[in-house]
């Protein structure tokens, strides 16, 4: 892995870093409040690596939930990630020993970056993907460790930095919009999720409802949009 | 069972289930066989639908009772879209939008 590749990957992952450091720190702080030290925090960030999943995990640990309960809630919360893999089947093909890691590290944000990323010329695509995934994982571990260590000492994370995550998703949505003439999926995603938010409230279940409807509608939609550009 | 062992079991369960949900599409459709048409069609259209879904999800905490509950986020979103539309520079759009959001939060806070 050469220096040029790392520079490209570091630049591409800056928005994720700005999101993962404060979010990871928030997770570390919550764990500290539940009396779980840095070793626990790092263990979870290394082997689970899921933002909302780990934050849910804090309350499950603190409440001493059963293994079955924990597995079921994690499954429901993470179910949207099943569909991420579909658009990565081709991208990850031929990645050899790095492929299991790529699948493991396929978070919302890494998925978003890999979907939208243009690989710089002269850089091997698979090396670039791997560097992006590993850097994001590193930011997450580092953020959670910092949150855990500093605990109450630092007090608060600068307010509003987490908007970088929203901006990242928006930037990719705009690029996707410009890359296709078929705007139905994006508009449908927007509309269905707004309605789902109004029905389910600001909880994770809003994603499940929206996702189920989107998969069914898009699967049943008639094919052959002429002039469609592959994205 | 000691508290630590139970905690380790819960963490192992979370790790296993999270990896399982991420690996499922690869287990089902990655053995050289061409996935069915319906799966191919979904993989072409779902990403834009999901990206829009994630944007709305990020904005799920907006409230409309007072301007402070929605003006900062929606203004910053408009700026991001405008910057990305005209300048096509990911980093500029994200940094510009985030700075705008932080400033407006401060202003309304």
Residues A51-79: tens digit of each pLDDT: 878 888 888 898 888 898 888 878 877 76
Q: Do A160 and B10 touch (CB under 8 A)?
A: no
Give A33-40 contacts, CB < 8 A, sequence gap 24+: A34/A58, A34/A61, A34/A62, A36/A61, A36/B7, A37/A148, A38/A145, A38/A148, A38/A149, A40/B7, A40/B11
The reply to whether A169 falls in a domain is: no
The answer for residues whose C-beta is within 8 angstroms of residue A161's C-beta and 6 or more apart is: A18, A19, A22, B98, B102
Taking the Cβ of residue B93 and every Cβ of chain A, the question of whether any pair is shorter than 8 Å is answered with: yes
| pLDDT, tens digit, 9 for 90 and up, residues A14-25 | 989 988 898 888
Asked if residue A228 is part of any domain, the answer here is yes
Residue B54: the pLDDT is 83
The chain B residue lying nearest A54, using CA atoms, is B14
Judge if A10 and A100 occupy the same domain: yes
A196 Rama class: left (phi>0) / alpha (psi -120 to 50) / beta: alpha
Q: Verify whether the Cβ–Cβ distance B10 to A70 is below 8 Å.
A: yes
One domain, residues A151 and A43 = yes
- Check whether residue A47 and residue A110 sit in a common domain: yes
Higher pLDDT, A116 or B11: B11
- Are residue A24 and residue A52 in the same domain, yes or no? yes
Examine the domain organization and report whether A198 and A95 are in the same domain.
Answer: no
Chain B residues in contact with A108 (beta carbon < 8 A): 54
ipTM above 0.90, yes or no: no
For residue A211, what are the domain limits? 179-231
- Is A173 part of a structural domain of the chain? no
pLDDT band (50, 70, 90) for residue A229: very low
Q: How many structural domains does chain A have?
A: 2
Mean pLDDT throughout A76-98?
83
Does A69 contact chain B (CB < 8 Å)?
no
The answer to whether the CB atoms of A115 and B47 lie below 8 A apart is yes
Grade residue B10 by pLDDT with cuts at 50, 70 and 90: very high
Round to the nearest angstrom and report the end-to-end CA distance of chain B.
48
Query: Which residues of B are less than 8 Å from A71 in CB distance?
Result: 13-14, 16-17
Answer yes or no: do A8 and A108 share one domain: yes
Q: Is position A116 within any domain?
A: yes
Would an 8 Å CB–CB cutoff place A181 in contact with chain B? no
Question: Among A161, A189, A204, which residue terminates a domain?
Answer: A161
Residue A49 lies in a domain: yes
- Residue-level pLDDT at B76: 97
> Residue B9: is its pLDDT beyond 60?
yes
What's residue B95's pLDDT? 86
Greater confidence (A55 vs B79) lies with B79
- With 0-12 / 13-18 / 19 or more C-beta atoms within 10 angstroms meaning exposed / middle / buried, residue B77 is buried
Average pLDDT over residues A114-143: 91
Query: Could you tell me if residue A174 is inside a domain?
Result: no
Task: List, for residues A157-166, the tens digit of each pLDDT value.
Answer: 567 777 877 8
Confidence label for B38 from pLDDT (cuts 50, 70 and 90)? confident
**What span, in angstroms and rounded, lies between the C-alpha atoms of B69 and B60?**
11
Q: Domain for residue A170, yes or no?
A: no
């Amino acid at each position: 892995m050469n220096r040029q590749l790392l520079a490209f990957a570091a630049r591409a992952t800056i928005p994720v870093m700005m999101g993962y450091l404060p979010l990871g720190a928030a997770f570390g702080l919550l764990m500290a409040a539940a009396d779980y030290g840095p070793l626990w925090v790092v263990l979870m960030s290394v082997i689970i690596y899921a933002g909302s999943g780990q934050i849910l995990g804090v309350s499950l640990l603190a409440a001493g939930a059963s293994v079955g309960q924990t597995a079921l809630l994690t499954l429901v919360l993470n179910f949207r990630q099943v569909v991420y893999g579909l658009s990565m089947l081709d991208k990850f093909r031929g990645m050899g020993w790095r492929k299991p890691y790529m699948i493991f590290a396929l978070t919302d944000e890494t998925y978003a970056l890999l979907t939208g990323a243009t690989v710089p010329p002269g850089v091997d695509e698979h090396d670039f993907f791997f560097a992006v995934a590993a850097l994001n994982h590193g930011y997450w571990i580092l953020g959670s460790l910092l949150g855990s260590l500093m605990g109450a000492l630092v007090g608060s994370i600068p307010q509003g930095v987490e908007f970088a995550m929203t901006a990242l998703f928006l930037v990719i949505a705009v690029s996707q919009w410009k890359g296709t003439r078929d705007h139905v999926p994006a508009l449908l995603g927007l509309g269905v999720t707004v309605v789902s938010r109004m029905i389910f409230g600001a909880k994770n279940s809003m994603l499940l409802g929206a996702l189920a409807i989107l998969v069914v509608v898009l699967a049943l939609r008639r094919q052959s949009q002429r002039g469609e550009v592959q994205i | 069972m000691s508290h630590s062992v139970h905690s380790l079991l819960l963490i192992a369960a979370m790790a296993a289930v999270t990896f399982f949900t991420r690996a499922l599409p690869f287990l089902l459709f990655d053995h050289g066989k061409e996935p069915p048409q319906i799966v191919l069609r979904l993989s072409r259209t779902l990403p834009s639908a999901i990206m829009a879904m994630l944007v709305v999800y990020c904005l799920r905490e907006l409230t409309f009772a007072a301007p402070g509950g929605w003006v900062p986020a929606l203004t910053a979103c408009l700026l991001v879209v405008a910057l990305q539309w005209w300048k096509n520079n990911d980093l500029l759009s994200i940094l510009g939008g985030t700075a705008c959001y932080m400033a407006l939060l401060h202003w309304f806070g």
